[in-house]
Amino acid sequence: DIQMTQSPSSLSASVGDRVTITCRASQGIRNYLAWYQQKPGKVPKLLIYDASTLQLGVPSRFSGSGSGTDFTLTISSLQPEDVATYHCQSYASAPLTFGGGTKVEIK
């Protein structure tokens, strides 16, 4: 099974900062990676799929990159409404797997 490792597990940054979250797959998954945002007390929301395609309605300050085993989610200018836990997910093969999540807070 493919294992997904996210880092860091949490981070604190100032409004306007550039924030980067990484996700590493235990084996190559091409670009079969999605990112989800889960705000406190809310359900997960799809942000990005196919590693870099923004879901409709997602602000352009979010971007994704990577292929193979190493992927990144970048928030170009952190906003207060971006406080959330971010999860990556591989869909290259079954079973589907999520990373452990990265909690983003405002400093």
Partner 1 sequence: EVQLVESGGGLVQPGRSLRISCAVSGFTFNEYAMHWVRQTPGKGLEWVSGLSWNGRYVVYADSVKGRFTISRDDVKKSLYLQMSSLRPEDTALYYCAKDQGSIPSFLDSWGQGTLVSVSS
Residues that bind partner 1 (CB under 8 A): 1, 32, 34, 36, 38, 43-46, 49, 55, 85, 87, 89, 91, 94-101
Q: What share of the chain is helix, strand, coil (3-state, %, to 5)?
A: 5, 50, 45
| Nearer of residues 14 and 94 to partner 1, judged by Cβ | 94
| Nearer of residues 32 and 71 to partner 1, judged by Cβ | 32
Give min distance, CB of 105 to partner 1, in A. 15
Q: Give exposure, 20-59, as e/b (b: 16+ Cβ within 10 Å).
A: ebbbbbeeebebbbbbbbeeeeeebeebbbebbebeeebe
| Nearer of residues 17 and 22 to partner 1, judged by Cβ | 22
Give min distance, CB of 1 to partner 1, in A. 7
- As a whole number of angstroms, the distance between CA 5 and CA 2 comes to 10
| Nearer of residues 36 and 71 to partner 1, judged by Cβ | 36
